Structure 1
Amino acid sequence: MRSYCLTDQGLVRKTNQDSILLTHNQNGDLLGAVCDGIGGGVAGDVASGLAVAALKEAFQNAPRFENDQGAKQWLHKEISKANEAIFVQASQTIHQKGMGTTLVGVLITDQDAYNFNIGDSRTYGLYGKEFVLLTEDHNLVGDLVKSGEISEEEAMHHPQRNLLTNALGIWDHVKIDINKIKRDFDCLLICSDGLHGYVSNEKIYRVLMESIDIKEKAQKLVELSKAAGGYDNVSVILIENGDAHEK
């Protein structure tokens, strides 16, 4: 299994409020996560950094995941603890009040794989030639798409596309999507909306299908975001299973 992560400030933002995590633990499990800080100047980078640091520390001491229940319970417990840490710090520090972050990622063991999501960062899966969105956006336009009121294409240009309905650290309790996903993926892509908010799924898919190194794919995806204006921070994690790029 090959993996690579990359984050970039973009061409417009003065800081990078994204934080990324890609690591293995002592059991050989892999954890990848992207956090996109929210709140503008209100310490979004602090919130995303706190989330990544909390998950990284917990993962290094994680037990062996024997079954679905154990893996999902661990994810729920540790993500909830990260939420509490951000919420408490924000409530105690005036200039950090209101800070929060999205959180999306995957946990991969020898036998199984799981994704988790809060907010509007995304995980995609490439299975053969099938390119699948594995997460559900927690934002206003996501709800509108789900109800059939607008299309995916209309959502990309909707004036309220950045209005989140769920985020880590904003409230004392948080809703977490945790799902088991098929382990026989060719490639997983975890990204902030700096990529999927500006680059079409078709363009992303074409890059993932190229017969190039995983690092080059990540760099190409970031460059596509910049070519679209570079209006936002952009983060990508790629995880390839076996010889997925040799097609």
Structure 2
Amino acid sequence: MEFTFRTDVGKIRAHNEDSGGVFKNDIGVLAVVADGMGGHRAGDVASAMTTTYLQDVWGEVEEMATVVDAEKWLIEQFEQINEHLYAHAEKHSECRGMGTTLVVALCTEEFISIAHIGDSRAYIYNEFGFQLKTSDHSLVQELVRNGQISEEEAEHHPRRNVLLQALGTEREIKIDVTTLQVEEEQHVLLCSDGLTNKVNHDELKAHLEGAGELSIKAEKLVHLANERGGEDNITVALVHYKEESNERSNAQ
């Protein structure tokens, strides 16, 4: 596996409320993208607390033998983070109302378990095509599911950024988890909506299937979102299962 991570403040906002990273241990890598929201700088706090927590607990994991273990671990971590964020906001008035989206890919040599809440997304690209593996927890996506609007209408809907779920905003949360088997030459793309609001499905695919280093692919995606306005923070995490699976991974 090789991996890379990029986050950018964009062209309009004064500070970056996105956070994340790709963290390696003996089991594999944990890719994380969190998009914070709410209050003066509280979005920064929520996403940074989330990333730090996941980096720390992943560093302590010594065994992850089965898919059941991986999915259970992810759900437990999401619930723990939610409790931490909710309690922090209650104790610190400047953080009231803070929250964060979160998408995580737990990548081993055998399987990839993906968990998410909010509208940060996970995509998979392999020989079977390019597929979105998460469903936004948003008002607009709910309208699509109910048949009230089309996918095309959702892309430009004025309320497309209204979330129905996030970490830290409510005591009870519902986490979506899915697991996929590993394929050769497979890419895992995690990103915040600062990317997907500016770069469409086909363009994301085109950037992944092209030649070039993984870090350059991530940089080009961020650059394209900025080129088209960059009104939001932009974050990209990429994991690539190379054919030489035993080749040493490296963070870019």
Please tell me the TM-score bracket, short chain as reference. Answer: over 0.9
Aligned counterpart, 1:163: 162
Q: What one-letter code is carried by the residue in structure 1 that aligns with 2:216?
A: E
Aligned counterpart, 2:229: 229
Aligned counterpart, 1:242: 242
How far did 1:41 drift? 2.7
SS in 1 for 2:194: helix
Aligned counterpart, 2:68: 69
Q: What one-letter code is carried by the residue in structure 2 that aligns with 1:198?
A: K
Cα distance in 2 for residues equivalent to 1:186 and 1:71: 19
Q: Which blocks of at least 5 consecutive residues in structure 1 are unaligned? A: none
Give runs of aligned pairs for residues 139-154 of structure 1, distance below 5 A. 139-154=138-153
Higher relative contact order (CA 8 A, sep 6+): 2
SS in 2 for 1:78: helix
TM-score, reference length from structure 1: 0.95
Q: What one-letter code is carried by the residue in structure 2 that aligns with 1:131?
A: F
- 1:19 matched to 2:19? The reply is yes
SS in 1 for 2:225: helix
How far did 1:176 drift? 0.8
How far did 1:42 drift? 5.1
Q: What one-letter code is carried by the residue in structure 1 that aligns with 2:16?
A: N
SS in 1 for 2:198: coil
SS in 2 for 1:208: helix
Q: What one-letter code is carried by the residue in structure 2 that aligns with 1:4?
A: T
Give runs of aligned pairs for residues 152-231 of structure 1, distance below 5 A. 152-184=151-183, 186-231=186-231
Cα distance in 2 for residues equivalent to 1:175 and 1:163: 17
Cα shift readout 1:117-165 (whole Å, capped 9, x = no counterpart): 0000000010226110000100001111222222222112101101000
Cα distance in 2 for residues equivalent to 1:129 and 1:204: 15
- Please report the RMSD computed on the Cα atoms of aligned residues, expressed in angstroms: 1.4
SS in 2 for 1:73: helix
Aligned counterpart, 1:46: 45
**Count of aligned pairs between the two proteins:** 243
Q: What one-letter code is carried by the residue in structure 1 that aligns with 2:209?
A: M
Deviation beyond 6 Å, 4+ runs, structure 1: none
Q: What one-letter code is carried by the residue in structure 1 that aligns with 2:150?
A: S
- 1:109 matched to 2:108? The reply is yes
Cα distance in 2 for residues equivalent to 1:136 and 1:44: 22
Give runs of aligned pairs for residues 32-43 of structure 1, distance below 5 A. 32-39=31-38, 41=40, 43=42
Cα distance in 1 for residues equivalent to 2:39 and 2:192: 15
Cα distance in 2 for residues equivalent to 1:74 and 1:219: 31
How far did 1:40 drift? 5.1
Identity of aligned residues (%): 37
The question of whether the paired residues in 2 share the 8 Å contact of 1:112 and 1:182 is answered with yes
Cα distance in 1 for residues equivalent to 2:104 and 2:76: 15
Aligned counterpart, 2:28: 29
How far did 1:221 drift? 0.2
Cα distance in 2 for residues equivalent to 1:22 and 1:156: 28
How far did 1:74 drift? 1.0
The question of whether the paired residues in 1 share the 8 Å contact of 2:4 and 2:215 is answered with yes
